A and B are shown apart, each in its own frame.
Chain A
């Protein structure tokens, strides 16, 4: 080893800065003291978790996945199964195994199990899908999303099919969501600077050279797929506690494209981009919603026509991508010094 500081020390600033940013957002919510604003902030933290989860795979492998919201669905339903009162499960979801009907866990324990459950399925799907590359892999992930959605929309006595599953305890304090978002950021950072993460990024940029150097691409992709599947599952579990209702159509195309576009706007190749993409777009959405609802200035009320929010959001996204085609952050990460490092650890070689 040279006498350069370790890769972890050189890149630790990124997750720390991002965490401070998230904490700052949380403090704004606490200072505002309004319940709907608090809920908005919870939504933002959930999206941060999901987009960071998506980044772990998409950012490091360069393969766009349309299927990750499927893992969110798995996580959300697993959390529902584990936290609903047994009485309600008996009537609404009688097809669950006896022991699962009887069990009722606190939400944080259920969230951990839900993440593991999603990761397990990511391993099963990934084992097969990760042999594919490029557009074929993207299409296959989309097929996976459709499969998960179809199973969950039709398995009447286990998932309640298209009906809403209710009875999930609602968690309205902001802290669990903040903690999960920060945990997701650290997991993503930890993966990015790990051997697997570094190899995967090498293969993303130079697939031929990477395999010539002995990198087993399907294996490295699978690791990223499982880690990101787990984070998406964790996000899904928290999502179910944020509104107390889950339905399969919540976890389908709408959420897939919302999270993907936030990642693209932020910068696909950068963890900071994933977080900043969510924060910028969510803030914009929120400001436009307030303007739609009307803001009183003196005696008059300024209000935009309903629907302007969606249009303005689309325009802003086009403008951002026109001027910064690789997203707000491009491939750079936030750092204490002027940003000059590329991906966390990209300049460092594993030994």
Chain B
């Protein structure tokens, strides 16, 4: 008995001192980040969140939103789904008008669902699955990034048009939805390219130490394919790329954005003929000078260069949300969603953005193409797929 009276006392004390203020004050504009401040997702969430904070800082410096300063509240999801739901509820209790959730759909959805059930707008920091939006959360949910399928489709069409690739090999790492998404986009685009052929396809798993069997099958083709569509991500991507090149296969390798960044290039010295689609360049050569200026700001704010393009969606999300709030003249969720859904090719620092009542994600987007040549990545081109990927193809 003594035990539990002590317990109850401890709990009451904790509740009184620790519980956040839950009265939402209508005079404030609050952005709530229910993101990972610890655990492995922190590596993805933190950079994008830093970029979001830069945009919030810019808006506040320019006089705020609807004449009010944007306030920020945070809650840590600890890279845990159950904690994610709590983090969502915490920021909502603290008066959030916009709930920003973890980059990944699986880890962001519990918090996004709490926002949805409270009738608030939620934004995934950089999720690239169709589910991160209407299809997997509800009508008030959005993602700031571009669908993985668009990356696969972009690389297929660009390599066909600009590099005259005709024979393709498809190598899928079945580990994540993201990987499958890239290959789905590639599969959708390929039949539309006259006389482009798929000469073979294969799968592997991210954790596979060796993909020798898959490489043997590529080597035993009568002719080396023009391009290999590699649908994979870190950490397995490095080993796969290294093994393909070590086996003497020199076909161009096409990828999704997840392998952007130069941090891993030393593992595959002198890598060439390697192409990645990115929303903005971290290499200081973006055709838009404002991106380079943003990179400088990012260095100032965080003390380091952006390590991959996944920093950028954080900036975009605050940008488009703030514009929608400005146009709606309120932070009311339905009004803001209506304004967001009116956006067609809305210009942002990292390419135009479109939302409509069917899809709260980008099923068509401008991508910069980064080529890695002799171990040095640089922007060589930009490409927008000729038509948006239909929702049916995305949902399969």
Contact = CB atoms under 8 A, between A and B. Distances in A.
Interface of A: 21, 24-25, 28, 31-40, 43, 91, 162-164, 166, 170, 172, 242-245, 247, 250, 276, 279-280, 283, 286-287, 290, 292-293, 295-296, 306-307, 328, 334
A279 B7 contact: yes
Contact of B18 (A172, A295, A334): A295
Nearest to B111: A243
A242 B82 contact: yes
Contacts of B89: 35-36, 38-39
Q: Most chain-B Cβ atoms within 10 A of its Cβ — which of A33, A172, A244?
A: A244
B360 interface: no
Contacts of B17: 290, 295-296
A43 B3 contact: no
B10 A247 contact: no
Contact of A35 (B8, B16, B92, B105): B92
A290 B93 contact: no
A287 B10 contact: yes
Interface in B83-139: 84-87, 89-90, 92-93, 105-106, 109-110, 113-114, 117, 131, 136-137
A314 B7 CA distance: 19
Contacts of B90: 35-36
B110 A244 contact: yes
B177 interface: yes
Question: Which 4 pairs of residues, A with B, have the shortest CB-CB distance?
Answer: A290-B18, A35-B89, A36-B90, A32-B15
B4 A37 contact: no
Interface string B148-184: 0000000000000000000000000000110000000
A24 B4 contact: yes
Contacts of B293: none
Given A163-B177, A247-B106, 20 more contacts: A24-B4, A28-B11, A28-B15, A34-B22, A35-B90, A35-B92, A91-B395, A162-B177, A164-B109, A166-B137, A170-B117, A245-B106, A245-B110, A250-B81, A276-B3, A279-B4, A290-B14, A290-B18, A306-B76, A334-B1
B11 A25 contact: yes
19 contacts: A31-B15, A33-B22, A34-B20, A36-B75, A36-B86, A39-B85, A164-B105, A164-B106, A242-B82, A243-B81, A243-B110, A245-B109, A250-B82, A276-B3, A283-B10, A283-B11, A293-B76, A296-B17, A334-B1
A163 B109 CA distance: 11
Interface residues on B, range: 35 or more
Given A40-B86, A166-B109, A242-B85, A35 B18 contact: no
B106 A280 contact: no
A215 B12 CA distance: 48
Contacts of B117: 170, 172
Contacts of A250: 81-82
Contacts of A245: 81, 106, 109-110, 113
Contacts of B11: 25, 28, 283, 286
Nearest to B15: A32
A34 B10 contact: no
Contact of A243 (B16, B85, B105, B137): B85
Nearest to B176: A162
A28 B16 CA distance: 10
Contacts of A280: 7
A28 B110 contact: no
A31 B12 CA distance: 9
Given A24-B4, A32-B19, A166 B86 contact: no
Contacts of B15: 28, 31-32, 34, 37
A166 B7 contact: no
A276 B17 CA distance: 24
B386 interface: no
Given A164-B106, A166-B109, A28 B20 contact: no
Contacts of B14: 283, 286-287, 290
B160 to A, nearest CB: 30
A272 B369 CA distance: 63
Nearest to B18: A290
